[in-house]
Amino acid sequence: MTGERPLLEVRGVAVRFGGLRALDDVGFDVHAGEVLALIGPNGAGKSTLLNVVSGALRADAGEVWLRGERIDGLAAHRINARGLARTFQGAEILRRMTVRENVMAAGAARTGTGVRHGLVGWGPARRALARLERDALEHLEVVGLAHLADTPAAALTAGQQRLLAVARALGTGAELLIFDEPGAGLTTVEKNALAAVIASLRGRGKTVVFVEHDLGLVGQLAERMVVLDHGKVIAVGSPDEVRADRRVIEAYLGNTEIAVARAPARAGTHEAGLLEVEGAAVRYDGLIALDGVTLRVGRREVVALVGANGAGKSTLLKAVAGAVRLAGGRIRFVGEDVAGLAPEERVRLGVGLAPEGRQLFASLTVRDNLAVGRYARVRAAGWRHLVVPAGEQAASLQAAMAEVFGFFPQLRERADQLAGTLSGGEGQMLAIGRALMSRPTLLMLDEPSFGLAPQVAKEILEALPRLTELGISILLVEQNARAALQIAARAYILVNGRIAAEGASAELLADRDIVQTYLGWEGSREEGRGRAAGGPRLAAVK
Amino acid sequence: MVELAQYLASGLVVGAIYGLIAIGFTAVYNATGIVNFAQGDFSMLGALMTIALLAAGVPLLLAIGLAVLAVGLLGSVIERVALRPVGADVLRGIIITIGVGVSLQGVAVIVWGTDAQPLRAFSGERPIGLAGVTIPPQALWVVGTAAVLMCALYFFLTRTYFGKAFRACALNPFAASLMGIPTARMRLASFFLSGLIGAVAGIIIAPIALMQYDSGIFLGIKGFVACIIGGFGNPIGAALGGLLLGLLEALATGYLSSGYKNAIAFVVLLVFLFVRPGGIFGELEALKR
Amino acid sequence: MIRVGVLALVLAAVWLSGSVYLMNLAVVTALFALPALGLSLLMGYTGQISLGHAALVGLGAYGTAILAQQFGWSPWLTMPVAIAAVMMVAWLIGWLVFRLRGHYLAMATLAFGIIAHVGFVELRDLTGGQDGLSGIPPLAVLGVELITDRAILPVAWIVCVGALVLAENLVRSPAGLAMRTVAESEAVAGSIGIAPDALKRRIMALSGGYAALGGALYAHYLGYISPSPFDVGFSLKLLLMVALGGFAGIWSVLFGVGFVVLTGEALKPFGHYDVVIYGALLVIVMVWCPRGLLAGLELAFQALRRRLRPAAGGAA
């Protein structure tokens, strides 16, 4: 902040993946000694940017300068030697080593001893090793893991692994530390420990940049923020400035205006729901994805589940579909507990999922994609139909397909085209159509508007409420919260694996505080304080 | 000139075999991501089993059918027992399939010894003259069977419901499981299929090539090379790759020395690995989103 | 240190026993251990795969034999020269091959192995073809020619133990940490300043050196070499030795080598059963004991004890 040159300068960085512009003219500075947060909604390009800066990816255009020296285009290990260290999403600790060895390895490249010295053993290699051991212990003390120095790294909890990754970054001696989603999936306690460590790094003369989805954590730590959306920098400034910035809010919540009449929220929760989720908890490798979620979807209802990236929305849908297992809680469909039912059995009960990212069968035709969508029912009718569906099965298959074509006429025109050649919008229609083929009573959609142009997304979202006329309920997961709230009768807001608010979407939309709740700015410090509009706030269940 | 045509003809015959073995590789690779280093040994076992059944008095067609089925089942057993526990670990998967191949070769030695086993040609030994080129009648069986098998496979994968589900599973196991497609059973099926195809390839070439316990190694390697040439995800490319390799080998044997025959496959392999790892036709099924 | 002591005692016992059979086994074990060690450094510690290591052994053997025969140099000169040459070849192979991954890498190394083998057979003028080379001069120490098993046993094992010690030093050094990092994740290695490609090539060269040393000693010990021992089967045997010992384990490699040599002897009267056993062992070890037979047995033993203990607790 003085007149001197920034520690890191990023200028005009652009990256293309095929036709997609992942980064577009990105530029910002990092000043020595500051703590900078890099935030943005899903797909904004944060990881890509991190990869470019750390040398894991080559940009198509632009420059990156570290302490006045150009580093873009250099290999990752050379950039590290110049004083930039990064951690990875999920920590990526070295599981076959002890905690201490993990940190020692970080200094190995700088000892000036190589294979030849190593073979000889005594002399430079031994001295270097002793030095590495001492330094490693120091770094471990900074992060509070010194007492675990000799435990195998694989035995650490998720929170400890993140701290080990920080110690490892320190072990490289780098001045600029870049952390990639260090807090993802951690408990509140773990996050606070992590935040304390990161805050202390400043006092040691380090500069910290971190990418994070948990905006509460970001608010605690960051002095400045850079906001990315769709590969562009849309805001730079202090936390207060960014929080108030309309563009940032729109980027996270969406600003699509939908012109569809919405069914009113049904009052009362007494009637038996189609889907009832109670206290669902899911863990991936010790990381918390869902932490006691309760929600319900009634018949012929459109319900939205919104929240920022990493909140756990996809995980919930996968749990209902049977693709991930619950660590706690219960899921009931049409009154029946679905625990232990394989995905194909749930499909036969009437659950359908159009997954995140469409997941089409790219080299099958549109028609074949749809046909395969009905596999569970065809198989249930008997082996014979697996060769060529016949009789009643063939008729139902054709009828279902006709219905899908009726709903999405564009697909009929492209019926014999390969699915991989469809445009984004058509692909999304196919994904939805494929899920409809098994005649579900509950259709779940995971981020249907992702990667689509606003107009196309609008069309698709507007088509959804019509499905309720066919007797189908919809559980819609969307990052574009504003759009989702306009077509759904009721909505739930998921933050960090927990329901932060729920109620009739009309009321949620009208509530001005909803932005704060949605983004979770208040975050982990304000445990137990929620802004709910028209619905009870759920207490955390551990 | 006649010489050249002769080399080309014999190259096509051998190439058809390599193509079949290559298809066996792709069947497994597409469904599981594993390259089955024991693929060639499936061919060897199919041939040797048929010979043994014939010696026991079983009529030819039945012997072939039984042997093919047995090897197919063996493939499924291998998947279930040896490979499923390993999951996605490529290194362990490779070594396991190597170990399986070695074991199969060892069993072959114990049962049949180390001598080459002759199999009588299906329709006699008299060479046929075709456009100035003489070929053994078995060659027609080879090319014909290979063509029929490839067509049957094509039909299966594109026209039957199960075949489409099979491809779906290979393309995107997660999405396939959401449709209710049993991915684990599809893996089993893919190994069954590759065992089937491999056995057929071994049986039809046996009268010409004389199978013995270690024939599988080189067959497998050549099939793998064919896959590299044609692209791993692509059965058609694999078949064409096999033909190309067969032709190159025949030309090398004719114009250089037969000792270099095996080296050709490897030189081609290395060239492709370094220049064009995706193969000539690339990965057909790599249009992933 | 204890391990060296025990080993010395065992070897002394073998040497004093006067049994040619046992001494031969001991020499063979030492000579196999060298390429196995090299392979262990490459596969176990740096995480790469090589299915063609037999070729490097063969190159070392042929290299020293050809130099001795063509130029009449003493083996003490031809061996280092041959080994250095093979190390360069190995480095080059690494440069070509390590950009590949997974089964492509495995196949490429297999290809190199087979190409080399074909070369041994076909380049008759140089290598003597299938008949091989004979009349290779033996090693001589202080004027004494080492022709008998008894004579070569100490030399072979001194070299072997020396190689073991060096390898262990390497694994325990900062470079060893770098190797283990590269084995687990090249991305992480890059992020902490380690250049994975350069390291892989260096270890490949070292591994080739170990293999060539084993091959060279073998040539001067036997006095005669042919292409047949340096085929794919031997590469796979080396693989098995390393797998049994646990991919990452220096002294446990000796266990793997010893196991394979001894079972080979035990199974000799049964003809070709050894191949089946080897294949089955490879599968079993990979599926259930990825860290080696000893480690796997230990785990199984502990699991068994845990299951028995509740019963013991109740009885107590």
Nearest neighbour of B103 by CB, restricted to C104, C280, C290:
C280
- Tell which C residues from 99 to 128 touch B, by Cβ distance under 8 Å: 99-100, 102-104, 106-108, 110-112, 114-115, 118, 121-122
Grouping H, G, I as helix, E, B as strand and the rest as coil, residue A300 is coil
At residue A374, does pLDDT exceed 60? Answer: yes
pLDDT reported for residue A270: 46
Residues of chain C falling short of pLDDT 70: 1, 248, 271-272, 310-316
DSSP-assigned letter for residue C292: -
Contact assignment for B289 to A357 by CB distance below 8 Å:
yes
Nearest neighbour of A113 by CB, restricted to C175, C184, C187:
C175
pLDDT reported for residue C156: 92
- Angle, nearest 10°, between helix axes B39-55 and B90-112? 20
Residue B230 lies in a domain: no
At residue A529, does pLDDT exceed 70? Answer: no
Cα separation of B264 and B250, whole Å?
10
Cα separation of C31 and A3, whole Å?
67
At residue A209, does pLDDT exceed 90? Answer: yes
User: B105 at the C interface (CB within 8 A)?
Assistant: yes
Contact assignment for B257 to C122 by CB distance below 8 Å:
yes
What does R_g of chain B's alpha carbons equal in angstroms? 18
Look at A264-278, A401-415, A500-514, C16-30 and tell me which has the smallest mean pLDDT. Answer: A264-278
Cα separation of B128 and B147, whole Å?
20
**Distances from the Cα of B50 to the Cαs of A483, B44, B142, in angstroms?**
66, 10, 16
Contact assignment for A386 to B182 by CB distance below 8 Å:
no
Domains belonging to chain A, first-starting first, are 8-92+175-185+208-253 (3.40.50.300), 275-525 (3.40.50.300)
Grouping H, G, I as helix, E, B as strand and the rest as coil, residue B132 is coil
- Each domain of chain C, given as residue ranges in start order, spans 2-231
Q: Contact, A478 vs A448, CB < 8 A?
A: yes
Q: Contact, A443 vs A477, CB < 8 A?
A: no
Using pLDDT thresholds of 50, 70 and 90, give the confidence band for residue A218: confident
Nearest neighbour of C276 by CB, restricted to B95, B110, B260:
B110
Look at A44-58, A104-118, A393-407, B252-266 and tell me which has the smallest mean pLDDT. Answer: B252-266
Q: Average pLDDT in the A24-28 region? A: 93
At residue A14, does pLDDT exceed 60? Answer: yes
Amino acid letter for position C57: V
Tell me which chain B residue has its CA closest to the CA of residue A397.
B161
ipTM of model? 0.86
User: B116 at the C interface (CB within 8 A)?
Assistant: no
- Tell me the per-residue pLDDT of C250-305, one tens digit each, with 9 for 90 and over: 888 998 999 899 888 888 777 667 778 888 888 888 888 777 777 777 777 788 88
Q: Average pLDDT in the A449-463 region? A: 84
Measured distance between the N- and C-terminal CA atoms of chain B, rounded to whole angstroms? 50
Residues of A with CB under 8 A from a CB of B: 321, 323, 343-345, 347-348, 353, 355, 357-364, 368-369, 371-376, 378-379, 385-389, 418, 420-421, 427, 434-435, 438
Maximal C-alpha separation, chain C: 77
At residue A10, does pLDDT exceed 60? Answer: yes
Cα separation of A221 and A35, whole Å?
7
Cα separation of A80 and A70, whole Å?
13
Which residues contact residue A275 at a Cβ distance below 8 angstroms, ignoring those fewer than 6 apart? A295, A296, A297, A320, A331, A332, A333, A442, A473, A475
Amino acid letter for position A178: I
CA-closest candidate to residue A381, choices A369, A368, A392:
A392
Beta bridge partners of A65: A9, A70
What does R_g of chain A's alpha carbons equal in angstroms? 26
Cα separation of A55 and A69, whole Å?
14
Chains that touch B (3 or more CB pairs under 8 A): A, C
Which residues contact residue A204 at a Cβ distance below 8 angstroms, ignoring those fewer than 6 apart? A142
Measured distance between the N- and C-terminal CA atoms of chain C, rounded to whole angstroms? 40
Q: Structural domain tally of chain B?
A: 1
> Which residues from B are below 8 Å from C112, CB to CB?
266, 270
pLDDT reported for residue A133: 94
Give the number of beta-carbon pairs within 8 Å between A and C.
124
Amino acid letter for position A222: A
Most C CBs within 10 Å: which of A94, A110, A126, A129, as the mutation test of the C interface? A94
Which tokens is A386 given? Answer: 């697996």
User: C185 at the B interface (CB within 8 A)?
Assistant: no
pLDDT tens digits in sequence order for chain B, 289 residues long: 677 888 888 888 889 989 989 988 888 887 777 788 899 999 999 999 999 999 898 898 999 999 999 999 999 999 998 888 877 677 788 888 889 998 998 889 888 888 888 888 887 778 877 777 788 888 888 888 888 888 888 888 888 999 899 889 888 888 998 888 888 888 899 999 999 999 999 999 888 888 888 888 888 888 988 888 887 767 788 888 899 999 988 888 888 777 677 777 888 888 877 776 555 554 433 332 2
pLDDT reported for residue A262: 65
Phi-psi region of B105 (alpha: psi -120 to 50; beta: other; left: phi over 0): alpha
Using pLDDT thresholds of 50, 70 and 90, give the confidence band for residue A259: low
Which strands form A224-229's sheet, in the order they lie side by side?
A84-86, A176-180, A207-211, A35-39, A224-229, A232-237
Cα separation of C117 and C228, whole Å?
8
Residue B261 lies in a domain: no
Nearest neighbour of A97 by CB, restricted to C180, C193, C199:
C180
What range does the domain containing B134 cover?
A: 13-216
pLDDT reported for residue A1: 47
Grouping H, G, I as helix, E, B as strand and the rest as coil, residue C282 is helix
Q: Contact, B195 vs B76, CB < 8 A?
A: yes
Q: Contact, B180 vs A343, CB < 8 A?
A: yes
Q: Is B131 exposed, middle or buried (0-12, 13-18, 19+ CB in 10 A)?
A: exposed
Contact assignment for B285 to A343 by CB distance below 8 Å:
no
Distance from CA of B265 to the nearest CA of C (A): 9
> Which residues from C are below 8 Å from B78, CB to CB?
none
DSSP-assigned letter for residue A536: P
> Which residues from C are below 8 Å from A129, CB to CB?
172-174
Q: Contact, B221 vs B65, CB < 8 A?
A: no
Look at A472-481, A525-534, B155-164 and tell me which has the smallest mean pLDDT. Answer: A525-534
pLDDT reported for residue B277: 59
Using pLDDT thresholds of 50, 70 and 90, give the confidence band for residue A265: low
> Which residues from A are below 8 Å from C189, CB to CB?
77
What percentage of residues in chain A have a pLDDT greater than 90?
46
DSSP-assigned letter for residue B57: T
Cα separation of B193 and B182, whole Å?
16
Residue listed under structure tokens 């948990």? A214
Contact assignment for A364 to B165 by CB distance below 8 Å:
no
Contact assignment for A364 to B168 by CB distance below 8 Å:
yes
Q: Average pLDDT in the A461-471 region? A: 88
> Which residues from C are below 8 Å from A106, CB to CB?
192-193
Task: Give buried/exposed letters for B178-195 (b at 16+ CB in 10 A, else e).
Answer: bbbbbbeebbbbbbbbbb
Cα separation of A173 and A325, whole Å?
41
CA-closest candidate to residue B231, choices B13, B25, B20, B15:
B25
